[in-house]
Structures are given as structure tokens and as C-alpha cells.
A and B are shown apart, each in its own frame.
Chain A
Amino acid sequence: MNMELSRRAFLRSAGAGVAGTAIGAFGFGGIEAAHASSIRAFKLTTMVETRNTCPYCSVACGIITYSKGDLRKGEKAELVHIEGDVDHPTNRGTLCPKGAALLDFAKAETRLKYPMIRKPGSDKFERVSWDQALDRIARLMKDDRDQNFVAKNNDGVTVNRWTTTGFLAASATTNETAFVTYKVVRSAGMLVFDNQARV
């Protein structure tokens, strides 16, 4: 994380340096410092830089997100810009047509914002609270599990499985999400469990 600070410092001094060199070349050395201080710093230097990874393909290009507001200080943070991480050994700052447009992914109009329920036979989603959604999910899952859990098979072997509810996991989530998901799914005895490895 220290590298972020040094990069920002570098940007600032680079901005001033370019201006100073050009003016110096024209023989205005004396006013160099005054002029440099009058030049507005790059807008991005006021942003919070955060190291991230492109969420698309498995090249896993390094990216740097720039946001207004600092999450680490408990502030709200709004994404302003995303660019390739020049220090990343794989992509060395480059991004493809997908990665270069990542800002529009994070800020897409079709990002979901609230839990929704579509009732049987309905033609629309209706907004609900998280508590309503999660209580309903737990109820549906528990009822299905209690009705269909198989403790022993026909040969009397303990099998402790639940196969009437399945779970598809996401391969763009983190390992940490994956392991918590694994714990919750397996502890319930679920076997119908898969991810995007095949598609």
C-alpha cells in the first residue's frame, strides 16, 4: 500500500517538473518556481488511490481505482476513474477494451440496489427490506431441507444429503466469499453445488 503514496507524490512532482523544464529551456529560470506553484495540480492527485484487480478475465490485470472520499477514514467513496496499474508485472498498465471501460460497469444503470421479490404468477419485482428477504429465504430453505433431507440411503448408510435445493457459486467473487459460501452450503448438506468452471 505504501506504493500508492509514492505514486501520488510522483504524479505531483512530475506535473511540476514538466512545466519547470519547459520554462527553464526558454530562459525564464527565475520565475520557474512561482510559475510552477500557479499551475493547478492534476485532478487525480486529490483522489484516493486503491489497488484492485480487473474482475473480468483470468489475466487479472492490476488496476488503480480513484475515488472521491476515503473508505479507510469511514467516508463515502465515489469512483471517479479507473486505470491500469503500471507497476503490475502482467499488464504493465495496459487494459483491454473491457477493462478500460470498468468505471461504467461499477456505475452501470442496471446495478442492483435493493432486494426484490417476484411473487408467483406476477409480472414484476417488488422492493422488500433485507430482513424480509433474508427471513423468507431462511424459511424457504429450512422447510425444503426438513422435508427432503436424506439421512440414510436404502442400504441404511448415513448419507446426510439435501438435493432438492441447489447452489451456483460465482467465479468472480473472492476466495474469501468462496470459502464462506462453501461453509454455509456444505454445512447444510447440499450437493447440488457448482460454479462457472464449465462455462
Chain B
Amino acid sequence: MTNSWTDIQNTDLVVIMGGNAAEAHPCGFKWVTEAKANRGAKLIVVDPRFTRSASVADFYAPIRQGTDIAFLLGVIKYCIDNDKVQWDYVKAFTNASYLVKDGFSYSDGLFVGYDESKRDYNRSEWDYQIGPDGYALVDETLQNPRCVWNLLKQHVAQYTPEMVERICGTPKDKFLKVAQMISETSSPQKAMTSMYALGWTQHSKGSQNIRSMAMLQLILGNIGIRGGGMNALRGHSNIQGLTDVGLMSNLIPGYLTIPTEREVDFQTYMGSRGFKPLRPNQMSYWQNYGKFFVSFQKAMWGSAATKDNNWAFEYLPKLDVPAYDMLRAFELMHEGKMNGYVCQGFNPLQSMPNKAKLIRGLSKLKYLITMDPLETETSRFWEKHGEINDVDPKSIQTEVIQLPTTCFAEDEGALVNSGRWLQWHWPGATPPGEAKHDTWIMAQIHLRLKALYAKEGGAFPDPIANLHWPYKDQGEPHPVEIAKELNGYVLETVYDPADPTKVVLEKGKQVAGFGVLRDDGTTACGCWIYSGCYTEAGNMMARRDNTDRDNTGAHPNWAFSWPANRRILYNRASADLDGKAWDPSRKLIEWDGTRWSGYDVPDIAPTAKPREVGPFIMNPEGVSRLFTRGMMREGPFPVHYEPFEAPIANVIAPKIRGNPVARVFKNDMTQFGDATEFPYAATSYRLTEHFHFWTKHVWVNAVLQPEFFVEISEELAREKSIQPGGWVRVWSKRGSIKAKAVVTKRIRPLICDGKPVHVVGIPLHWGFTGAAKEGFGPNALTPFVGDANIETPEFKAFLVNIEPTTPPAVA
């Protein structure tokens, strides 16, 4: 989230599209209710299902899953055509005026540079024209036909209301009503918030779904303001934290990146991370990359990371592919190229696509280790459970080691909520049996590996042997010790660069913020964006002062919000060109002639003059991007692409299947089904009574929603002679499941490109462990393909067939 849960109270219009907050984030949704009750805010819900969010909406519009880009580009076109643009914001705070290279072009669903055999682009033309001074060329009058604004206008021209209806199945009048309501927030006195979740991310073009809304929000001037923003409602309680701390194949904590093998040495690695400003005076904050990187290496390897060995650059593994994401991991397993896998609090057999492929992959492993507070289907993938897990244990040679871990009630530490608040919690219960903290288990594995290498030698033991391990109890690092590492500390007394006699911080002290970090080895910091969370003043994450001056929703002394305790990102953009709030009733920070100050920590240097320094300080432009250069794989503007399995051909580019640059492994292409064989558009979803695969272990929740089902319309039930509550078989190209049918009015057929499309909803909470009844869940059916940029699987749009059937055999 750019903003916070409590900030939603400040909005005038909530758009829930790609999410279902009333059911999936009920206690966060209360802030929508507050905004509606106290300021007359309106709620729009756009969803294939009439969800409980929709049931309390002021306006609901249906949409076919996987067509959000067409809808949103249609709204952008509406705003441009009707002059509903916050012009001062767009001209000053976006790259609308930047000139794009003459070689850049788009036609028939593809941008210039496409190579079909590689399923990739040469993106060299997707960039700005650069002047002799090294800065991007701009035309502030927006007259130049090559400026971003004019290219955008041209790009969205084909997404007319008629085209939106044809692609999305949203009746034209409903689309126009939504577009009109959204467009009104182009007023500087109106704010709109976007609340989205996995309904946008779980598509082969998920990142571009989100970009489309971000572009719309920029055009309306809704980013950086109270009640505005792009608000990703994250799933798990600490998925934000795990991402911040970089637990992904290609990340280093704080959104730094693991080197690729093309970056042959430290100098080459740093050479591509210079982040030189693209316009005069801009902060381009990533210019500090080296300080964050060296401080990270010092946190990892302490005194073994020296200037002479390039801060232990060679201790980091180098990537040969863009990422070893989960889909690639299971592909490698399936090909027999992996031997071991560790699942820490993760149940991939239930949560990843194409279950048959997952079982084959796991069966080829030599060893599987699971760490979890609860039984998981993954740790028992070798166990036969009737039709639901139809395996032969004897034929599976994988050794499985299952380790019991503690849960929330028994451990201590910080979780990062959607709004980037790091909230510390304390243990209140003794773990059951011999369950152990994850920190203890990881320490034990490390210490044993280290001892084995010391005894036996082996492949490059240095990074293991020299891992900085400063904990009082080597075998069980305390959360406080680790939090202090994440925050950062100084290894040598640090002096002010402007005045070398002035001590900034004495040796051994905790840094107060990332501004202190250096690239000379005198500072260490596990995760630079968390700097300030555990300072000399103590544990900022443990703060529980809920005061909120003037009820802005900021709660600045409650826990700690990264970065720098900032509650609303890009908050400089809440003020106009001269630094006065666009809307005085929504003041966040203002310029008083010498400094920025207000309700929030300024997202800009405190003395950076308005009209000189732009509000988007992380970007070398200093402004936000409507045109994203070569930074996203499928193009600098979003394009409507159908899901890989779609009930109709892509209306704007009939020859293109799915996202033209999404990675598809060889054998998976043949596992996509067509509408002739699989005519119904399926989507997975969640229920308010359940959380993923955990709450089926919880007696109360198992009672509330005991049994797996699929949800279909009355029309489809009639067509297929399916009785409400009767058993159905649902199958895709990859698998088959059985479930009871829930026949509802919440799903209605849509008319897309002149043809009726039936939607089949499949909730995901069941399996074969826990207190609830055994059930299949959707992932025996879902396709093994991910988003082209970040590989989130396409769970939300795939094709199935359906027929009445008899109950499944159980174990």
C-alpha cells in the first residue's frame, strides 16, 4: 500500500477491483465503511462475482476475469476525452511531457522489437530522447507528437466503451457510469483509492493490471494524497516483510538485486546501478545503492567483507536465469534437476498450479523438508487419500523430514502489515510438544553445516564459515538481536563528511536512519528500508501510542512504518507546485519557505525546493511514469491480452495467445486447453470464513464452511442439468475435481464478443488434512504459467468443462 488501512477513511471514492476486501480483509474494510458513513464516500466494485464487497457497493459492474486492462484503459480514454485530468499534477509530476524515441511504435497488439521465437522484446527503442546534456528531452506544452501524453492518447484510442463491452462483457452503460464516477476525482479536492489484491496479481499480465490503475491514479492526481493511492491488500500477515527482506531468488533485502552472471565483477555490478538523474536537480535516491549494498554485505559477513575483496561480492551466488521462482523450481523438479526442497510454513501442493505436475516433481526429489506449525498436504504428498490424492506411496522414493514449528502465539518479532507498519509482538504461550522457533531451526541447520565444512572441507565453504553470527546464544538468535541487525549499526565511529571533527555516531551504536549508511565499510545494515526500526531510542516497532493529531489516520507513534516512519508514500505530491496542499482539508506536508513539514515524514529532502526537486525521488526522472521505458517486459504501456486460456480470441489482436512475453515451459504449452473443449471461464477465490489452507485445521472455521464446492449461475446449472447441492465434475486440460454445486445469482453469464460466457467460481480452502471435510480445491485444474514480470501464476482465469456426477471415493 502506498497509504495505510486507517487512511482509507479520508477517501471520496473506493474502487475495489481485483480484490474483495469485505470478505478477505474484513477488519480493514471497516475503513471503507467509515469513509462512506462519515464523508459520504462512494464504493464501486468491479468483479466477475457479486461479492459481499459488491453487496454493499454504491455501484457494481460485472467484468470477465482477465480483462481489467481493457476496462482501465477505457477509463483512461474516457478521462482524456472528457478533460477529466488533474492537469497541473500530470504536467509537473508525471513524465507526460517527456519525448520518446522516434523508433518506438505499437501495432496489432505488439510494440516494436518483438521476437516471437524468444517470446521477448528488444526494448532499446522504448526510451526517452536524450539531449546533449545527458537529460531527457521534454515538451512542457505537450504539443510534440512524440511526447508521452500524445503517445498515450493514441494508445488508448481503441478502448472505446463499445470495445470495453465486447472484451469485458461489462454493459456499456455500466462501464460509463463507473468511468464517470472515477473521472470526478480528477478534481484536486477529490480523492479515490484503489484497493486490489490477488484478483489483479494472479494473471499472466498481473503487473500490467496494476500499472493500468496506477496510470489512471496519476492522471487523476490521486497518488501521494490522503485517501488516495494504490493499495495492494496483501495476503499473508508478513508477505510484505518477507518481500522487503528479499526472500526471493533475485533479491537482496531492501529491494536490492542479486547479481547475474553477466555482471562478471563488482565494478560491472555497480556500473549498472548508477541511477544518474534524468532531469536536473533530481534526488534519484537509488544513487545511494552502493551504501545500502556494502552495509548489507557487512551485516552478512562482518569482518570477512573488506574493500580488498569487494565487500565479499563473490560470496553472493550469481543468477544464470532471470529468477528461480516457484514455477521454475517445480519445473526443475519435474525435469529431475533438483534433489532437495525446504518448505518453511508453505504448502505448495495446495497453493501452486497443476497439482499433477507438482506431485510428479516432488516424487523426483531425494529429500523434502517441511517446517510448519500444522500438518500440510505438501509434507504428506506421498500419502493416498482416495481420488483427492491418488498416489502410490511405495513408488515414491522421496525422504520427507517434517519439523514442528511455533505459531504466532509462541514467538516474538515484527510483522509488516499491508500499510508497511512493522508491528512487534510478544509470545504468550508455551509451544506444544517439541515445537521450536524457526530461528532456532535455521540456526541449528547453519551451525551443523558450518561444523561439517570445518571437519570435512567441501565446496566453497567461505560464505558459510564466515557468516556473521554475533548472537549471545549461537543456537538461538534472539529476535531483538536480529531486529538490531536489520536496523543497522556503525562498526567504526562515523564523522560528518562536511565537518570531519563532528561525530555523527559512535562505534557500536544503532543507526537512527538510512541516511547514516556508508559505502566504506564503517556501517552494517541488514535491510536499509527498515533503518529506524530499532535505534538507540529502543524498539520503535514496539510503540503503542495510538494518538492521531487531527484524526488524519497517520498514527505516527504506533509501531514503525518503513521507510523512515513515513505513513504515506510520495506525500510531496499532496502539495501543489509551490508546496501548498492541493486540498487544504487534506493537508499532509507543506513547504513553509525553508522546509517541508506537516502530519507525515516528508517523502523528499526536508529542504528540497518546490519546482526544483520532483516528488518521485526514487525515479531518476523525479516524476512518476505513465510510460515506463523498458522496465516491464511486455511494454511501456499496458495492452489487453487474454488469459492463456480464454473463452474468446483477443479482439484487438486475434493471433496473440495470452501475454506474448510470458514464460511458458515447453511441456506446459501443450497443456493449455481451448474453448471448444473447455467452454467455461473458471476463477479461484477465497471465503471470509477461511484463510488459505490454515483454517481448515481450526474447528470453528471448519464448522462454518465445512465442505468444498464450486459456484455456478442458475443459467449454467439449467444448461447442464446440474442440481443445487448436487455433485459435479469439473475438469481442465490438466486435471479433474469433484465438488458439490452451489447455484447462485451471484454469478451471471456475460456477453463477450457477442457470445455468452459462463463463469465457474472455485474456492480454494480444502485439502486432505485438518478438521474440515476432505476436498480438492482448484489447483488440480489451474495452468502452469505466470506473470511475465514476476511469475505470479494465472490462477484467476482458466478454462474448464463441467458435468453432473457422483460423489468421489474417499480413503
Contacts and interface: CB of A to CB of B under 8 A. Distances in A.
Interface string A11-51: 00000000000000000000000000000000000001111
B442 A195 contact: no
A81 B91 CA distance: 55
A11 B383 CA distance: 50
Q: Which one of B342, B400, B695 has the greatest number of beta carbons of chain A within 10 Å?
A: B342
Interface string A143-178: 011101101010101111111111111111111111
A117 B373 contact: no
Nearest to B1: A58
B247 A174 contact: no
Contact of B399 (A3, A77, A108, A119): A119
Given A94-B27, A195-B243, A48 B448 contact: no
B329 A121 contact: no
Contact of B404 (A96, A113, A159): A113
Contacts of B605: none
B503 interface: no
B493 interface: no
A150 to B, nearest CB: 9
Contacts of B279: none
A166 B429 contact: no
A168 B555 contact: no
A169 to B, nearest CB: 4
B318 A157 contact: yes
A114 B417 contact: no
Nearest to A151: B460
A171 B458 contact: no
Contact of A199 (B345, B352, B700, B704): B352
Contact of A197 (B239, B315, B396): B239
Contact of B342 (A69, A109, A164, A167): A167
A67 B412 contact: no
A154 to B, nearest CB: 10
A87 to B, nearest CB: 6
Contact of A174 (B384, B411, B555): B411
Contacts of A95: 27
Contacts of B770: 108, 110
Given A176-B483, A194-B326, A115 B403 contact: yes
A191 B261 contact: no
Given A115-B403, A166-B324, A173-B344, A192 B338 contact: yes
Interface residues of B, number: 168
Q: How large is the interface on A (under 10, 10 to 19, 20 to 34, 35 or more residues)?
A: 35 or more
B360 interface: no
A153 B372 contact: no
A186 B316 contact: yes
Contact of B415 (A175, A187, A190): A175
A5 interface: no
B343 interface: yes
A114 B688 CA distance: 32
A106 B408 contact: yes
B735 interface: no
B479 to A, nearest CB: 4
B314 A158 contact: yes
Contact of A177 (B264, B402, B438): B438
Interface string B420-435: 0111011111101111
A79 B652 CA distance: 58
B808 interface: no
Contacts of B445: 134, 137-138, 141, 184
Contact of B793 (A130, A169, A199): A199
B467 interface: yes
Contact of A77 (B31, B428, B460): B428
Contacts of B329: 166, 168, 192, 194
A116 B328 CA distance: 28
B689 A67 contact: no
Given A53-B423, A133-B401, A168-B344, A149 B459 contact: yes
Chain A contact surface mostly = mixed
B413 A166 contact: no
A12 to B, nearest CB: 20
Contacts of B189: none
A57 to B, nearest CB: 5
Interface string A100-113: 11101110111111
B144 interface: no
Contacts of A57: 24-25, 28, 233-237, 691
B6 A90 contact: yes
Interface in B255-275: 258, 261, 264
Contacts of A171: 235-239, 241-243, 345
B93 interface: no
A60 B417 contact: yes
A179 B403 CA distance: 19
B408 A146 contact: no
A51 B415 CA distance: 13
A175 B324 contact: no
Nearest to A177: B438
Contact of B418 (A50, A59, A118): A59
A183 B380 CA distance: 28
Contacts of A185: 247
A110 to B, nearest CB: 4
A17 B712 CA distance: 55
Contacts of B398: 120
Given A61-B27, A104-B698, A173 B342 contact: no
Contacts of B5: 59, 90
A182 B245 contact: yes
Interface in B501-555: 526-527, 530, 542, 544, 546, 548, 555
B231 to A, nearest CB: 11
Interface in A49-81: 49-62, 65-67, 69, 71, 76-79
A140 interface: yes
Nearest to A129: B434
Contacts of B558: 89
Contact of B247 (A50, A182, A198): A182
Given A187-B446, A188-B463, A198-B786, A56 B694 contact: yes
A169 B344 contact: yes
B458 A196 contact: no
A90 B31 CA distance: 8
Contacts of A163: 324, 332, 337-338
Contacts of A98: 688-691, 695, 698, 701
Nearest to B246: A182
B209 to A, nearest CB: 14
19 contacts: A67-B428, A89-B555, A91-B30, A96-B27, A110-B769, A134-B441, A137-B448, A145-B458, A161-B317, A167-B341, A170-B344, A172-B408, A173-B242, A179-B482, A182-B246, A189-B463, A194-B325, A196-B235, A198-B202
Interface of A: 1, 3, 48-62, 65-67, 69, 71, 76-79, 82, 87-92, 94-102, 104-106, 108-123, 125, 130, 133-142, 144-146, 148-149, 151, 153, 155, 157-199
Given A56-B236, A141-B340, A191-B317, 9 more contacts: A3-B544, A51-B425, A111-B697, A141-B445, A142-B452, A146-B458, A151-B460, A184-B443, A194-B324
Q: Which 8 A-B pairs have the closest CB atoms?
A: A170-B345, A113-B433, A174-B413, A50-B428, A112-B404, A60-B417, A165-B340, A138-B448
